[in-house]
């Protein structure tokens, strides 16, 4: 856990070098809110095979905020995929997904963070609300 904390801190410092702390942290805050909104929408939609779309959309929206949003999206996505059992058991029970699903989620995360259209992962008949 100490290594993870150190890596998060180092990535934060490197991300802030190019701009002011206030601007970077603001982008990170709103990027985290974008990630939470995508997660909440995914839980609300409860639509089969839509998780990759919501992963890509949350990362895309956060990345549009700037370097702070990209940083927040990466930290949140990496934590979520590294510790899925902890987050699943705390709120929703065991997801039952393994390494293959986690790797596919990370690919969707990178797709969104890179600025590519998250609709690439959008399943057919997902309500327009999302």
Q: What is the pLDDT of residue 31?
A: 97
User: Which CATH homologous superfamily contains domain 27-121?
Assistant: Serum amyloid A protein (1.10.132.110)
Q: How do the pLDDT tens digits run along the chain, 130 residues long?
A: 666 666 666 665 665 565 688 999 999 999 999 999 999 999 999 999 999 999 999 999 999 999 999 999 999 999 887 776 555 555 555 455 677 888 899 999 999 999 999 999 999 999 999 9
Q: Is 83 helix (H, G, I), strand (E, B) or coil?
A: coil
Which contacts (CB < 8 Å, 24+ apart) does range 42-47 have? Answer: 43/92, 45/126, 45/127, 45/129, 45/130, 47/123, 47/126, 47/127, 47/130
What are the residue boundaries of the structural domains of the chain, listed by start?
27-121
């Amino acid at each position: 856990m100490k290594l993870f904390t150190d890596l998060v801190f180092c990535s934060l410092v490197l991300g802030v070098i190019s701009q002011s702390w206030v601007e970077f942290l603001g982008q990170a805050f709103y990027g985290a809110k974008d990630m939470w909104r995508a997660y909440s929408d995914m839980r609300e939609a409860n639509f089969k095979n839509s998780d990759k779309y919501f992963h890509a959309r949350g990362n895309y929206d956060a990345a549009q905020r700037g370097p702070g949003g990209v940083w927040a999206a990466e930290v949140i996505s990496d934590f979520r995929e590294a510790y899925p059992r902890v987050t699943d058991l705390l709120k929703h029970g065991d997801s039952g997904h393994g390494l293959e699903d986690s790797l596919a989620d990370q690919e969707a995360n990178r797709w969104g963070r890179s600025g590519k259209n998250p609709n690439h992962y959008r399943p057919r008949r997902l309500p327009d609300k999302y």
